[in-house]
Structure 1
Amino acid sequence: MAGPLDRLTKLDSRLRCVANGATEVNAIRAEQNGAVRLKRRTRQAMASSLAIPVDGKSLKSLGRTLRAVKRGKSQTSLPTDVEVSVFVLFNQIDAPTPAIISRRNGRVGVATATLAELEKLNDNPAIQLIELGETLKLPTPSVADAIPLAPPSNRHAYLNQGMLSVAGGTSVSLDTVGENVLVGIIDVGGIDFAHPDFLDDAGTSRVIAIWDQGGDAFAPPDLTVSEGKAGKLTGYGSEIRSTDIAFAMAQAKASKLSPHDLAPQSVRERGSHATHVASIAAGRSGLCKRAKIAGVMIALSERDYDRGRNFYDTTRIVDGLAYLFELARREKCDAVSINISLGTNGGAHDGSEFVSRWIDTSLFEPGRAICVAAGNSGQDQPQFDGDLGFWSGRVHASATIPAASLRRDLEWTVVGNGLEDISENQVNIWFGAEDEFLIELFAPNGERIGPVAPGEQIENQMLADRTMVSIYNRLSDPKNGDNCISVFLSPFMGRPVIGITAGSWKVRLTGKIIRSGAFNAWIERDDPGQGNASGQWRLPSFFGNTTYVDNSTLSSLACGPRVTGVTNYDEAREALAASSSQGPTRDGRPKPEIAAPGTDIVAASGFDPTALWVAMSGTSMASPYVAGVSALMLSLNPKLTAAQISGIIRRTSQPLPGANYAWSNDAGFGVIDAQACLAEAVRIGLPTKDLTKKGTA
């Protein structure tokens, strides 16, 4: 008997994998997939069965928690207690918007739906595609052990010299630059709004709002959204407003309580990533030190048991952007500069992803800029004995199959604890619409799966070692028209849970119809950790020595045409950090655009009474530097567009020592020249000099 999935043809491959699983299976999946969660009642009912103590000695004690849908057994209906966060693509821009769509921008909408509700969306003739949001990954900066001194007050003296000289003899004062701008931070870990780096001369916090997407201490935001067709930012999270912050700080002084106990956030991590990033962009020690600051805290925690309760995927970034743009209007700010130091490896890496299209549409309006960290997936070799950082750098492969019937093998290494891996692993292979490939998969024990031809799929096939395999060979993706093969390896979530066999898996591509033959493959990175039920390890998989290609490793979010992608420049070494992700995009565009200081950056350390400052390194630190410069540029000239800001940054960049002005895949167009950027921002706003000779016919 056919199951409900047989007719759900509009679901993307990742969403089909989720819909294929029973509630118990998705309970574990939700701990690693930011676009999947269980309804509250179901989660509470299952909590006791999930919290099973484990001795950690036997691999066969993995969890003893969940069952799996066995091969050949179809569900008669999709669960109503599993929710997913999805993007929806409409056939036409004026197609009616179903009530379940929470926000819409042109042909793209976002929705939270139960698996059962997907059937109704699939049956809607106005809908072309339903795609699961991409899971956001924890940022991976390097944190120095030593507690540093406060950053020197003259760190950015070249910007705080009082007057900015501009071509043509015009000067503007820098004393108040930034007061008319909102700096938005979409990040994780909480913002320490009471940190001295965020206080003005009167002791008032310049943090005017925090949308804690996983919180419940205050009411959710209630802002009418002017962009798109769907109404308000309501329904989830906790908005801490400036009045709440002021009250908490005043009461804390009187009662000697922590202001963060009076205006709590759901996550308050010591050395908070978001606090550090905000400090670089807009702290007193940072770039735009007079700007208003607002944070959107994605509900992504280092604690696995927190993850299944909330969504932390790219649809949440869309909501965060809408919130910050509306907040800027509410606060009557002239412009807004936003930093996103989060990322994902998923997608086509060509700017066609729904979140990138949404961002690009929003950046057509003047007075807006968005900077995105390129990512820390640049290291492809160990730097010292025991260094495993290269795993995260071997996430990309590319090659060309020159003719039909010829083949290419990709070595895909699954790690786990050395014997098995309890996380799901995924590879996406993108290639042009003019080509067709067959795909086969070989397990470490030699077991063969496939071949799978174009237009075919294998779903939830159990191997001899109980690894669950799904393969989708899909033609003509609606977002870009290209073809994509997706391979998923999932642990057997039975009694006990049995991980994916560690070792070398082989992906074999064979040309069927070849005109170009070029392809690119990416591994979707999963955060390392231990299963909370089993104590067994999950670690990122990676491409082997003969397969990985050391380029095009930058985050999908940094591939958007109008965002500014930023890589990490080590000022002390006058070189690019080895960990910085590289371009170009899959369609050959020059990304990242710019390098900025991002190594050993001293900035605010959040929620730590023993240390006010911390030094971190990574593209997460470089990106807010550029966001701060962008905020200053917008303060001087609020009519600038994102395209103009990016153009100024590229045009004024300085080459690294020994390099020229040509774009390179690691440094972009060079190192940012902040002073030159500000001068150009003002110059663009000046009237055009008329050289027409007077009195000529």
Structure 2
Amino acid sequence: MDPRLKIILQGNPKEELSLLIRLTNEKKYPKNCKVVSQFGDIISCRVLRENLGSVYASLEVKSVKAPRVIPADDFEQENQAYYVETRHSVSNKQPSNVVFGLIDFGFDFTHQDFIDNGKTRFEKIWTQSGRFDGNKYGYGKMISGSQINDVLQEQFPFRKLGYHPGQSDLFGIGTHGTHVLGIACSNGKVSEKGFASNSPVIAVDMGSNLVNGSNLSLGDSVKLVEGLDFILREAGNRPVVINMSLGGHGDAHTGQTLVEQAIDAILTRRKGTAIVQSTGNYFQAKAHTFGDIKQNETIDIPWFFKKNDFTPNELEIWYDGNDIMSVTVIDENKNVLLKSIPFKDEMIVKNNEEVGICLHRKNEPNTGKNHINILINGKQNSKFWIVQLHGVKTANGRFHCYIERDDKGQSIFLPKMVKTTHTTNSICNSKYSIVVGAYNQTEKERSILSFSSSGPTIDGRMKPEVIAPGYKIKSSCSSSSRDVRAADKLCSKSGSSMAAPYVASLIVKILEKNPDFNIKQIRKKLFETCEPFSLKNDHLEVFRAGNGYVNPGKIIT
């Protein structure tokens, strides 16, 4: 059973749980399961806790996953806003036939970059953390373009709509969603004009909240899949490009999470559709290692914690389904906190207090791999632990180990053990999504930025597939929590989050000319226009560059 599923087993039996399920047959559903959205054999659904066991055991079900937190793929932001003295003139233009979809947080509909002729470019915003308005998904509220237009001239437009995009932005540094949207879709009044400057916008605000000390943590994997469903339903038969600059460190990195399988189902079944994702900013995170272990061999994996870190921490180990490994956990004082039996879930105890749990699963149904998940409740009170991995039976022996992202108290591996390849974000490894790394566009050498994550996927596929500008990108700045509407401001941010919407906007140009292109044709068109990346001293750089630099000139002409 999925580790997070085990954690939510206990509680009110009548509570409705949100889940992702992979069906054995996409036309047959388990009993006591309310389907909310479906892409191929992947469904999001609601199940009462008392029925979770029977649904899990149902012959109609191949895999059940509990929601997993999805953080924004942010990296660097300057605590400074840039005021623009003059606005560019914006001529009247025909709206694009291609919809720009965005799943993120904090969309400032009052910013001039998204208003043409006094009317909003937003067709609809689903604010998932808003007060429930009775929509089919069962949470959040939908804000239509006409509702936005009705309040644009009001003194307090955010209050009028009950949605403030900068509610989590206390210091006026700008929200992630507004900045990302400006890169792709700005009409040029304040920010530089985006390639999708006349596309209608459909946005999903997953909300921002404090999870593990991070205010960049958004909703979860279930809400993400339902956000995709919402955008595609609203887009109707029109071509659509969806940008998702989201993801964490963990999972198997084989493209087989249920989110990634849903993405591939969308892209292989719907023409005129592309999903663009950031590769992640984890190249230097010191959160990944891998190795090979022989039978009866023991490997020590030192796991270091920040001083006074009271946030939860998480470590995952993935290894071949035909192997058997056991785990021992020892603290810096050589106290044995856990000596595990393979495939048995056990508590981690320190000074007679439960400080965590080790969950060990055999043959996870989507990957076939075995999965060890160590979850700490924040009470470890240690400088470091030694995670000892022992090969009980090893025909293959390869393992990959990830520390999950924690923006307030990021724990790390011993630096000399760190591996920087296979560090793409947790949900960007599907076969057909287009994944983007970041380079420094201010340098003549156009070097890949130090933080931009590296592929390949664990199963050997190229991710990221292209690289785009991502260094101190100035784009639309949203209102802070103290503002009543947007000023004419820009803010600067760096990251693969900034590179992804640049590429997404270029794909809009491809689909404007070729609205019936399928995903293979879209990918081919994009990749064949790229300028190759020149390898110098480090041959591993190919795993960060993919097909090379996107070339807007070749795409547009």
Same fold per TM (> 0.5)?
yes
Q: Give the whole-Å Cα distance in 1 for the aligned partners of 2:529 and 2:57.
A: 52
Report the equivalent of 2:225. 318
User: Residues 287, 150 of structure 1: CA spacing in aligned structure 2 closer, same or farther, 3 A cutoff?
Assistant: farther
Q: CA deviation at 1:601?
A: 1.1
Q: CA deviation at 1:658?
A: 5.7
Q: Give the whole-Å Cα distance in 2 for the aligned partners of 1:236 and 1:473.
A: 33
In 2, are the aligned partners of 1:214 and 1:266 still within 8 Å (CA)? no
TM-score, length basis structure 2: 0.89
Q: Which one of 303, 315, 319 corresponds to residue 412 of structure 1?
A: 303
The worse-fitting range, judged by mean Cα deviation, of 504-513 and 85-94 is 85-94
Q: How many residues align?
A: 536
Q: CA deviation at 1:464?
A: 1.4
Deviation sequence 1:211-261 (CA, Å, 0-9, x none): 000112x7354xxxxxxxxxxx432111000110111114x1xxxx13222
Deviation sequence 1:99-133 (CA, Å, 0-9, x none): 43323333332234454442342353433432212
Deviation sequence 1:349-382 (CA, Å, 0-9, x none): 1100000000100011111001111111122xxx
Q: Which one of 375, 379, 384 corresponds to residue 488 of structure 1?
A: 375
In 2, are the aligned partners of 1:455 and 1:474 still within 8 Å (CA)? yes
Q: Give the whole-Å Cα distance in 2 for the aligned partners of 1:488 and 1:136.
A: 17
User: Residues 611, 306 of structure 1: CA spacing in aligned structure 2 closer, same or farther, 3 A cutoff?
Assistant: same
Report the equivalent of 1:589. 461
TM-score, length basis structure 1: 0.72
- 1:552 corresponds to 2:430: no
Q: Give the whole-Å Cα distance in 1 for the aligned partners of 2:46 and 2:318.
A: 28
In 2, are the aligned partners of 1:133 and 1:314 still within 8 Å (CA)? yes
> Identity over the aligned pairs, expressed in percent?
25
In 2, are the aligned partners of 1:463 and 1:469 still within 8 Å (CA)? no
In 2, are the aligned partners of 1:662 and 1:669 still within 8 Å (CA)? no
Report the equivalent of 1:94. 27
Q: Which one of 270, 283, 292 corresponds to residue 186 of structure 2?
A: 283
Report the equivalent of 1:673. 551
Q: Give the whole-Å Cα distance in 2 for the aligned partners of 1:488 and 1:319.
A: 27
Q: Give the whole-Å Cα distance in 2 for the aligned partners of 1:300 and 1:325.
A: 23
What SS class does the counterpart of residue 178 from structure 2 fall into? helix
What SS class does the counterpart of residue 243 from structure 2 fall into? strand
Q: CA deviation at 1:141?
A: 3.2
In 2, are the aligned partners of 1:569 and 1:599 still within 8 Å (CA)? yes
Structure 1 gap ranges (5+): 1-10, 21-77, 155-159, 163-174, 222-232, 380-392, 492-498, 529-538, 680-697
Structure whose CA Rg is larger: 1
- 1:598 corresponds to 2:514: no
Q: Give the whole-Å Cα distance in 2 for the aligned partners of 1:603 and 1:544.
A: 37
What SS class does the counterpart of residue 208 from structure 1 fall into? strand
Report the equivalent of 2:489. 612
Q: Which one of 205, 218, 222 corresponds to residue 297 of structure 1?
A: 205
Report the equivalent of 2:334. 446
Q: CA deviation at 1:288?
A: 1.0
What SS class does the counterpart of residue 596 from structure 1 fall into? strand
Report the equivalent of 2:483. none
Letter in 2 for 1:676: K
Structure 2 gap ranges (5+): 188-192, 481-485
In 1, are the aligned partners of 2:120 and 2:149 still within 8 Å (CA)? yes
User: Residues 244, 622 of structure 1: CA spacing in aligned structure 2 closer, same or farther, 3 A cutoff?
Assistant: same
What SS class does the counterpart of residue 442 from structure 1 fall into? strand
Report the equivalent of 1:523. 403
Q: CA deviation at 1:153?
A: 8.8
Report the equivalent of 1:693. none
Report the equivalent of 1:45. none
Q: Give the whole-Å Cα distance in 2 for the aligned partners of 1:619 and 1:152.
A: 29
- 1:204 corresponds to 2:96: no
Letter in 2 for 1:677: I
Report the equivalent of 2:137. 234
In 1, are the aligned partners of 2:464 and 2:545 still within 8 Å (CA)? yes
Q: Give the whole-Å Cα distance in 2 for the aligned partners of 1:220 and 1:395.
A: 41
Q: CA deviation at 1:456?
A: 2.3
What SS class does the counterpart of residue 498 from structure 2 fall into? helix
Q: CA deviation at 1:291?
A: 0.5
What SS class does the counterpart of residue 286 from structure 1 fall into? coil
The worse-fitting range, judged by mean Cα deviation, of 292-301 and 465-474 is 465-474
What SS class does the counterpart of residue 558 from structure 1 fall into? coil
Q: CA deviation at 1:470?
A: 1.7
What SS class does the counterpart of residue 526 from structure 1 fall into? coil
What SS class does the counterpart of residue 408 from structure 1 fall into? strand
User: Residues 471, 146 of structure 1: CA spacing in aligned structure 2 closer, same or farther, 3 A cutoff?
Assistant: closer
Q: CA deviation at 1:19?
A: 3.3
Q: How does 1:221-620 map to 2 (within 5 A)?
A: 221=135, 233-250=136-153, 252=154, 257-265=155-163, 267-268=165-166, 269=169, 270=172, 271-284=174-187, 285-301=193-209, 312-329=219-236, 334-364=238-268, 365-379=270-284, 393-401=285-293, 403-415=294-306, 418-419=307-308, 421-458=309-346, 460-464=347-351, 466-491=353-378, 499-528=379-408, 539-573=409-443, 574-608=446-480, 609=486, 612-620=489-497
User: Residues 311, 629 of structure 1: CA spacing in aligned structure 2 closer, same or farther, 3 A cutoff?
Assistant: closer
In 1, are the aligned partners of 2:127 and 2:142 still within 8 Å (CA)? yes
Deviation sequence 1:418-466 (CA, Å, 0-9, x none): 24x33222111112223222221112332224543433221x3432162
In 2, are the aligned partners of 1:209 and 1:293 still within 8 Å (CA)? yes
The worse-fitting range, judged by mean Cα deviation, of 90-99 and 592-601 is 90-99
Letter in 2 for 1:325: L
Q: CA deviation at 1:591?
A: 0.4
Report the equivalent of 2:190. none
The worse-fitting range, judged by mean Cα deviation, of 656-665 and 341-350 is 656-665
Report the equivalent of 1:65. none
Deviation sequence 1:385-410 (CA, Å, 0-9, x none): xxxxxxxx111111111x21112111
Q: Give the whole-Å Cα distance in 2 for the aligned partners of 1:151 and 1:602.
A: 15
In 2, are the aligned partners of 1:396 and 1:543 still within 8 Å (CA)? yes
Q: CA deviation at 1:186?
A: 0.2
Q: CA deviation at 1:146?
A: 4.1
Q: CA deviation at 1:286?
A: 1.3
In 1, are the aligned partners of 2:74 and 2:176 still within 8 Å (CA)? no
- 1:17 corresponds to 2:3: no
